Structure 1
Amino acid sequence: MIFRAANPVSHRLARMAFYLACLAAPVVAIAGPLHRYLGLDRDIALDVFRYGFYLATGAIALGLATVVPTRPGERRRGFLAALLALGIGIAAAWAPLSWLMHAYRAPALNDITTDTEDPPKLVVTAKMRQGATNDPAYPGPSAAELQHAIYPDLTPIKLRIAPAEAFKRVDQVAMEMGWDVVARAPSEGRIEAVATSPWFGFQDDISIRIRKDGPDGSRIDIRSKSRTGKSDLGVNAERIRTFATRLLQQGS
């Protein structure tokens, strides 16, 4: 087969795509640790995250422009660099893109509870919310109505055991889930904890209430509230579901 002369422009584009992808990957990866470990402002860290995504999409676009021939029989210089740019760029763009998709679908809720009429109170954790942009108080009826529409499955957990035994099980499940238990008040039937996301280090406060239910049972209500952000991207609801599943499995 006779190839036409290689296009030097395509070679330069391939190299540019590769460099952009190699820049985008660490920018996306470092955004979380900058906030969690170095205290970079949350919004600035998210901006870094977003700009990493822009760099990744630019690398993908340039990589595609280089890989796809513009003329029949044209030999593309830098083909390998363009393929690497596509691979690295797609990998770097995936995390921000998935966040964006979650944010688009998630409701504007950051405070989820199994009892919207009388949510478990944040007592100790309320004092730990320095710098939090969300008020520790429950948002009210509008949030409750939206939660019931979006998460109708989040209801109180019922166990056929005494509150004292239920308290022990709740405490055990909370520790198994990796939460930082900051308060145990058996006489009040209250456990409080803090959950920290692994990448950005975002913190959510959790309050669990154990009450007597009938002659021999217990009712457990849980509340999970984000310290920052108008939307929790569904994290609090999923946390409550996982907690309820594990708690019920302990008694099976």
Structure 2
Amino acid sequence: MRFLPRIAFLVALAGAALLLISGPGVRLELWEFPTGFRMMRWATFLGLGGLALVLIVVLVPGLRRSAIGWWVPALLLAAVSVYLPWQALESARQVPPIHDITTDTVDPPAFVALREVRARYPNPSDYPGEEVARQQREAYPDLDTLRLAEPAERGFERALDAAREMGWEIAAVDPEDGRIEATATTFWYGFRDDVVIRVRADNAESLVDVRSVSRVGRSDAGANAQRIRSYLERLEDQG
């Protein structure tokens, strides 16, 4: 029994380490994202195992007092290994399993320059249609075309500046077509999602629409919608 606190610590440490490398490994292309997701799931199982062992240690008075230097770190590591994947799963469950989000579901901006690149990945460039639009409207009713009180030429400049400030990799800038295409890379897993921005004139004002689409995965866990929100907020703040 005296080795149990150390075993609990090692199990919890293994779970935390697995969680720590799961995302960066995908980002560094050491393994594919399904493997990274499986590693995160295994990290959760190890975390639960660590918590169970810590509980046993705590219930044994002699171990609880003498091995506090082992089981307290084990408790913290195990809690992290369980909580972070659970939180990510719960966040994903709150949104529909879609990955193509746009401010204009009737006439969404289209990819041109990135179309060839996107052809190498599972998710298509063409908008998937009304069923996805319906799910988006229910989940993200706040996403809509942004109207800027200035001419389209100035609106396009602001849209481009905001895209650059977001840290996106700009792939195409077409002022005549009012189109900007870019690629955003997520922090943890390094997923590359593509964005197309369209700026059109409406008398003396500008209409800005944005579309953000994942290259892989059925669900984006709300990432594309949040990206569009952040971009539009930044664009409005420029005014």
1:150: Cα distance to partner? 1.2
Residue among 14, 17, 20 paired with 2:11: 20
Q: 1:4 maps to which residue?
A: none
Distance 1:196 1:97 in 2: 23
Rate the CA distance shift 1:130–1:201 in 2: closer, same or farther, 3 A.
farther
Letter in 1 for 2:72: L
Q: Which runs of 5+ in 1 are unaligned?
A: 1-8
Residue among 38, 49, 56 paired with 2:40: 49
Q: 1:189 maps to which residue?
A: 178
8 Å contact kept, 1:36–1:201: yes
Q: 1:246 maps to which residue?
A: 234
Residue pairs, 1:1-252, within 5 angstroms: 9=1, 11-69=2-60, 74-76=61-63, 77-129=66-118, 131-213=120-202, 215-251=203-239
1:93: Cα distance to partner? 2.6
1:39: Cα distance to partner? 4.2
Distance 1:38 1:139 in 2: 28
C-alpha RMSD of matched pairs (Å): 1.3
Distance 2:236 2:17 in 1: 41
Identity of aligned residues (%): 38
8 Å contact kept, 2:24–2:188: yes
Letter in 2 for 1:249: D
8 Å contact kept, 1:173–1:243: yes
TM-score, normalised to structure 1, is 0.90
1:4-62 C-alpha deviation (Å, 9 max, x unpaired): xxxxx2x3221111001111111111111211113411111211121112111211121
User: How many correspondences in the alignment?
Assistant: 237
1:84: Cα distance to partner? 1.2
Distance 1:201 1:194 in 2: 11
1:112-160 C-alpha deviation (Å, 9 max, x unpaired): 0010011000112222225422111111000111111111111100001
Distance 2:17 2:113 in 1: 37
8 Å contact kept, 2:103–2:145: yes
TM-score, normalised to structure 2, is 0.95
Higher Cα Rg, which structure: 1
8 Å contact kept, 1:67–1:79: no
8 Å contact kept, 1:67–1:83: no
Distance 1:167 1:30 in 2: 40
SS at match of 1:219: strand
8 Å contact kept, 1:115–1:221: yes
